[in-house]
Structure 1
Amino acid sequence: MSESPVETRDVEAELEAFVDELLACETYQALVDAREALEADAEAQELLDTYRETERELQDSEFDASLMSDLRDIQDDLSEIESVTRHREAREAFEELLAETNDVVSERIGQEFAQSLGGGCC
């Protein structure tokens, strides 16, 4: 049984309304605010750059205990910066909201919603 164009438009309209609600919700707004604060925090940005560079060095070389130690130290320093902690917590809260949304949709359609259904060319 195929969907009629009216039903497709209805689904698209409901999806658009859902996305609008999601973008307006407090959890998403907290994430946006936290991201902006993190991007404006020069100390955090410098440490994040150092973290990424150290991580690249670690990936590009054989195991190096001193680089691993440096990476842990940078992680510890990052965890003490308020804007980093706030962003992590806001991201986790938004991810939880999305997981809950996935659960509701999955339950309603009787199968896992956000999953790869496979595919491929053959």
Structure 2
Amino acid sequence: MSNADSLDSAEDAVEAKLQAFIDAIEDSETYQQFMAANERLENDADAMALLAEFQQTQQQLQQAFDQELMADLQELQAELANNETIQHHRAAESDLIELLQETNDVISEPIGMVFAQSSGGGCC
């Protein structure tokens, strides 16, 4: 077996294990709960409108500070905090991020570097 064949074989094995890892994440209860929360959010017109209004107000405030806009933004933040669909989505998202960070730590330890981090690259 040539070096090229050996490298191809190793890369194929990595690809297979990567796909198994992806499948395991997708099958996890945490990921399933996030996807359900995401679907619920997308189907909640009131929550989506509230998020859009919040984002629009944030953008307006970034363009020019205005005390009235700041008050509007604070009011919208309170509404976001009280919206059950949005809070459920945020909690599910936080749980998924925690799971992914834990998997990153497990992968990073044996390879001796942070797995999900750029190691530089680029030419300039």
TM-score higher than 0.5: yes
Q: How does 1:99-110 map to 2 (within 5 A)?
A: 99-110=101-112
Q: How does 1:42-61 map to 2 (within 5 A)?
A: 42-61=45-64
- What is residue 38 of structure 2 aligned with on the other side? 35
Q: After TM superposition, give the deviation of residue 28 of structure 1 in Å.
A: 0.5
Tell me the distance in 2 between the aligned counterparts of 1:19 and 1:120: 27
What secondary structure does 2:61 align onto?
helix
Instruction: Let me know the Cα RMSD of the aligned residues.
Output: 1.5
Tell me the distance in 2 between the aligned counterparts of 1:10 and 1:49: 44
Query: What is the percentage of aligned positions where both structures have the same residue?
Result: 46
Q: Which runs of 5+ in 2 are unaligned?
A: none
Select the residue among 110, 116, 124 that pairs with 1:114. 116
Give the aligned residue type for 1:22: I
Q: After TM superposition, give the deviation of residue 4 of structure 1 in Å.
A: 2.1
Tell me the distance in 1 between the aligned counterparts of 2:58 and 2:22: 35
Tell me the distance in 2 between the aligned counterparts of 1:116 and 1:53: 32
1:29-67 CA deviation, whole Å, 9 max, x = no partner? 101000111111121111111111111111121x21221
Tell me the distance in 1 between the aligned counterparts of 2:100 and 2:53: 31
1:86-109 CA deviation, whole Å, 9 max, x = no partner? 000000000000000110011011
- What is residue 91 of structure 1 aligned with on the other side? 93
